[in-house]
Structure 1
Amino acid sequence: MLKPNIKAVFFDIDGTLLGLRSKAIPDSTIEALALLKAKGVRILVSTGRSYEHAKFLASYGFDGFITFNGSYCVDGEGQPFFRHTIDVGDIRILHDHLNTIENFPVGVMTTEGSFISDITDDVTATFRLLKLDVPHAKPFANALETEVLQLNLFVDENKESHLINNVLKNCESSRWCPEFIDVNARGISKQIGMEQFFSRYKLIPEQTMAFGDGGNDIQMLRTAGIGVAMANAGDPVKAAADHVTDTTEEDGIWNALKRYGVI
């Protein structure tokens, strides 16, 4: 195997940097991140989380953050340099749907913070599982008064299809957690976030590597020169990758970086 000329590595958080079971970064991954930095390889976070829920990783020396699945990019100094919001018309239609047809919890991620329309037992259990604080509860109508970067809809797959096809027509969805979907403006993905960093750091896809495990990672894995799926990923994610590594807890990131001679 020829040793690739990797200049940047993109990492998903949940199920990738953080183990699904441990909810922690293993020592092997921490050592791998330090080795990448020492070699001058840029390390970048790529997540469906908000920057507020991802910036705890800044202490590991990350050079930037793709957040909200590509809707909001932040540099290594914590300064945002790219954002793309959801069409306000879609927000209005969803507001009417919630009030007249069917109500369900909706997380709203804005340029000024996050809130959720209703805190149910399922919502509380999901955030506890992810070890995240539950956002403050506010009526969904507040979303009409601000710029929305991403929505989290607590619905099953059947309702997801109906909502994307009939309500949020200018949006698309992805699912990395069984309990809810991420909704972003149509055309937005982690690939779009990667492209912002390609331009910023004068990279080409062939010089990059990416690690992920969720449906929202598929385009990222396909875009990178080397896409690596974690062992806990679903079949569609694995099919999009060049290599399937072990789980986070089984040193999957370390093993793949060593396999390709990046560290």
Structure 2
Amino acid sequence: MNTRHPNDRSAPLFRLVVLDIDGTLLDPTDVVRPVVREAIQSCRELGVEVVLATGRRLRTTRPIVSELGIQLPLVLYNGALVWDTEHEAALAERPLDRTALERALREAEREGLGALVLRGPASGERMVLVTDPLPRLPEFEQELLPRTGDVDHRAAQQVLELDDVLTVDLFGPELALRRATARLARAGLPIYHHGPFEWLPALPRWVANVHAPGVSKATGVETLASRLGLTLADVLAVGDGENDLPLLRAAGLGVAMGNAPEHVRAQADAVVRGHDEDGVVEALERFVLEPWRRVRALA
């Protein structure tokens, strides 16, 4: 946890706001409410940059950017890709190398887990369901294919030849998944658990993201901040998930949503209302807009 108190009026003014998407920016119906858009626009009018940081791919984040109606820098795949939407170019990309891929797939085989790899923009962000010797998970495909329509199938040995894998998603029963991810974490690979795969209720499976060493939302945001002449101390970060924790700890102020799990709320500097009550607006008003307005009123 950071040492800066959220009500410390002598604290530096935040110049960069970083918002998670699911469970944070979006309400429970996956919509950006008008009041949230207005608060973001107010930050930008004060000269405060706003960034979205998410585990999503570029293609599934674009509709959110369109909904906001503004161009925003993006930290994607939990920090494995930093994207400039204005120039449609990658600012940083951190794929898993062959050693990391081999380790992740070996653990999947050992525990009987399914694996889905997510490739970067250069290959069209293709998703690859790993087969042979991993299980094909036909029931998973029945749900996934209609939703995405772009899933390839490759044997594990073929996947090891790919040089643009940004995420390995592992699926399986919770205990088996946690055994595998514990070993991967000890080997230095960042792991982010997401619990049950809720949009596949028929599957008794949990999901976890595996990334290249050093990948996190914090490192992705640090890349963007440095390009703006800022540091993580200048950042207000808001999120609700385990994948937000590295950033919430590293930011100048880390704010957890009220709907975040208890262990995430416990490690944040402040907690706001949930995404069903416009918690993002509360965070922006309390920690960005009000302090900046006070300073301008005294100028």
Length-normalised TM-score, structure 2: 0.77
Q: 2:127 aligns with which of 105, 115, 127?
A: 115
Gaps of 5+ in 1: none
Match of 2:161 in 1: 145
Across the aligned residues of Structure 1 and Structure 2, the Cα RMSD in angstroms comes to: 2.6
Match of 2:272 in 1: 245
Give yes or no for the alignment of 1:37 onto 2:44. yes
Aligned-residue offset at 1:233:
0.4
The AA in structure 2 aligned to 1:191 is A
Matches within 5 A, 1:16-165: 16-19=24-27, 21-59=28-66, 60=68, 61-77=70-86, 78-96=88-106, 101-111=110-120, 112=123, 113-117=125-129, 118=136, 120-121=138-139, 133=148, 135-141=150-156, 142-147=158-163, 148-165=165-182
Count how many residue pairs are aligned between Structure 1 and Structure 2.
258
Match of 1:171 in 2: 189
Match of 1:9 in 2: 17
Question: Greater CA radius of gyration, 1 or 2?
Answer: 2
Is this contact kept in 2: 1:149–1:184, CA < 8 A?
yes
Is this contact kept in 2: 1:58–1:76, CA < 8 A?
no
Is this contact kept in 1: 2:126–2:151, CA < 8 A?
yes
The AA in structure 2 aligned to 1:92 is E
Aligned-residue offset at 1:28:
1.4
- In 2, the alpha carbon distance for the partners of 1:123 and 1:234 equals 29
- In 2, the alpha carbon distance for the partners of 1:127 and 1:12 equals 26
Structure with greater proportional helix content: 2
- In 2, the alpha carbon distance for the partners of 1:258 and 1:97 equals 45
Deviates more, 1:3-12 or 1:146-155: 3-12
Aligned-residue offset at 1:154:
1.1
Give yes or no for the alignment of 1:222 onto 2:249. yes
Task: Give 3-state SS (helix, strand or coil) of 2:116's partner.
Answer: strand
Task: Give 3-state SS (helix, strand or coil) of 1:217's partner.
Answer: helix
Q: 1:254 to 1:189 in 2, by over 3 A?
A: same
Task: Give 3-state SS (helix, strand or coil) of 2:22's partner.
Answer: coil
The AA in structure 1 aligned to 2:256 is A
Deviates more, 1:42-51 or 1:56-65: 56-65
Deviations 1:180-232 (A, max 9, x none): 11111122111111110121111122321111000000111111112111111
Gaps of 5+ in 2: 1-6, 130-135, 198-206, 291-299
Is this contact kept in 2: 1:86–1:171, CA < 8 A?
no
Aligned-pair identity in percent equals 27
- In 2, the alpha carbon distance for the partners of 1:255 and 1:97 equals 42
Give yes or no for the alignment of 1:187 onto 2:214. yes
